[in-house]
Structure 1
């Protein structure tokens, strides 16, 4: 039997009919590889001969309640929501090259409240996930450990923080910005860095554990790419290399122009990737040509692929 497009569409649709609890909603269903009889790892089986066709499908889903809250918040700001995209996928769309995907890599988007990760192997998405740990938790740890306000802790994290303990600097004293009603204080750099290191190492170890469970670490030839605000933290790539045993770099948006103060920052990888996702996705809506052109022109996308 020659496999035709209708066969492929049927097996994909069957895989998409995954039974989830009422609390979950599918965001993305992504084809990884096809199987034709005993042959595996097939990207496009159309035209092949075989009797059994199956597919590996990665389903990315989220909690319905949280997704509805996001939509409600957007609508309260007079923004109509057309679709919802996973942040890790958006960060990958903004930063990865075809070579990264082919040789294998993982993007870790270090946000404030959550950390998203997505891994590519053999030019396909191999796994993805999200952890309820982010930069806000680091700030809370500093606030609790040094007994200072959250605002002061955030300021210290940004201006003097490090994900690794700087040995030559560890005994040096760091003035703490005055909190209202508090007297001036100093702490050692080593104390601040130890607090940050503990939380960031825990975060990376959790991600590593999930990827190791999928037996993917040895397939990430291009290493780890860090995006999000947390990627600005001093020493974060050094810590990433230590935990994962792989090259680690900061990912910056690519193939965009204009707003140079924005596009070179890892903070904006996911938002810019969301625009790229929208430029792809919006074509299914009636007003697509105008919207798609506006999105592509807004930040000077050279390619929306």
Structure 2
């Protein structure tokens, strides 16, 4: 029943746990062949708070994906998010002293090692070290320096790091369910970007915002490389919580109102529109004015987008976003969010769906599946690197506590 070239991406989110099965074709393309989704329990703000409960949800999601794809799932690539995820940029330098002053693969490995030598909190682990660019004797934006002549090689990397213990909790949540095993972990925001951005859009520059239930991940890329990334600890659950507090209704009723009637667009016609809470237990009014509901939602979403705008301005990349903004995650379904985001960010905005894989259109066309599909893409990149590494001497993997310690120099 097993397929030898299947890659599985698993996202343990605040609102849902999603498992996506992709098939790696002989030509390197990835096709989604199965999806399994389970409502999330035991997870808060993208971090595990009840291991046993979360494990049961992971198991249900994995079993549903197995039935959907007709395969047995063993190894998975897992996503990581949460307020503990951070990033920084760093530079490494390596003198070129080989024959004829030509850059060798050993020089590239050495300069990347220097660039990865950074000060991060002791409790953190590096998830990714993504090469932004190379420079040879002042010639910048070099794609592949091997074979070029020079005396000085520089490399810039974007490092994404996370708290080790919280990352290990994600791994343990999966490994406690044999025969499931974790091949490697990826930052969810990076995965979403891998799913939705084409090579042209990466070069033009783009901002990917993945708005989930408990967090909002973002990735800023320009000239084909990630320039900045991070997590804002606000998501769709905060919108429902604001509605619950503002209207004095149960959280379950607030979530229903958000999904069925909510919008972040304010129109004059809303002032006369009402929503009945028949059958709902409420200490407030039993009839809600729609403009009040939408105003509450708008304030929270606008605040979240302003936090992202602040990060965009801090990165210095606002003028490099030629392809615009891509919204993914469940909150991308909020009515009017595209127009609101354009107003706050001052950039063209579109709903982001998976463009870099093939397969089940019902999954590819839904922005809430962008992250797990992107994790599958990440897994395909890892396996391609493994095949290349197997043909090169001296390329080994070192594991500590089940987390891959060697930082693969993946190009975005």
TM-score range, shorter chain: 0.7 to 0.9
- CA-CA distance at 1:252 after TM superposition: 0.9
Task: Check conservation: 2:217, 2:231, Cα contact below 8 A.
Answer: yes
Root mean square deviation, CA, Å: 2.0
**Corresponding position: 1:39 with 2:139:** yes
- Relative distance call for 1:4 and 1:183 in structure 2 (3 A) is closer
User: CA offsets, 1:192-241, max 9 Å, x none?
Assistant: 11111111111111111111111111100110000000101101110110
Q: Secondary structure at the match of 1:120?
A: strand
More displaced, 173-182 or 132-141?
Answer: 173-182
Task: Specify the alignment match of 1:235 in structure 2.
Answer: 336
- CA-CA distance at 1:34 after TM superposition: 1.5
Task: Check conservation: 2:123, 2:165, Cα contact below 8 A.
Answer: yes
2-side partners of 1:76 and 1:147: how far apart? Answer: 40
- Relative distance call for 1:255 and 1:39 in structure 2 (3 A) is closer
Task: Check conservation: 2:249, 2:281, Cα contact below 8 A.
Answer: no
More displaced, 108-117 or 49-58?
Answer: 49-58
Q: Secondary structure at the match of 2:272?
A: coil
Q: What is the TM-score of this pair, normalised by structure 2?
A: 0.66
Task: Check conservation: 1:178, 1:184, Cα contact below 8 A.
Answer: no
Task: Specify the alignment match of 1:148 in structure 2.
Answer: 249
Task: Check conservation: 2:249, 2:284, Cα contact below 8 A.
Answer: no
- CA-CA distance at 1:257 after TM superposition: 4.1
- CA-CA distance at 1:256 after TM superposition: 3.9
Task: Check conservation: 1:177, 1:184, Cα contact below 8 A.
Answer: no
User: CA offsets, 1:244-283, max 9 Å, x none?
Assistant: 1110000111244443322211010001111121122245
Higher helix share: 1
Alignment: residue pair count: 287
Corresponding residue to 1:163 among 264, 268, 275: 264
1:54-69 equivalent positions in 2, closer than 5 A: 54-69=154-169
Task: Specify the alignment match of 1:270 in structure 2.
Answer: 371
Task: Specify the alignment match of 1:127 in structure 2.
Answer: 228
- CA-CA distance at 1:37 after TM superposition: 2.7
Corresponding residue to 1:259 among 350, 356, 360: 360
Higher strand share: 2
Task: Specify the alignment match of 1:113 in structure 2.
Answer: 214
Task: Check conservation: 1:166, 1:193, Cα contact below 8 A.
Answer: no
Task: Specify the alignment match of 2:297 in structure 1.
Answer: 196
- CA-CA distance at 1:168 after TM superposition: 2.4
2-side partners of 1:104 and 1:146: how far apart? Answer: 41
2-side partners of 1:6 and 1:75: how far apart? Answer: 35
Q: What is the TM-score of this pair, normalised by structure 1?
A: 0.88
- Relative distance call for 1:76 and 1:178 in structure 2 (3 A) is farther
- Relative distance call for 1:145 and 1:184 in structure 2 (3 A) is closer
More displaced, 136-145 or 73-82?
Answer: 73-82
- Gapped runs of 5+ residues in structure 1? 287-304
2-side partners of 1:54 and 1:284: how far apart? Answer: 22
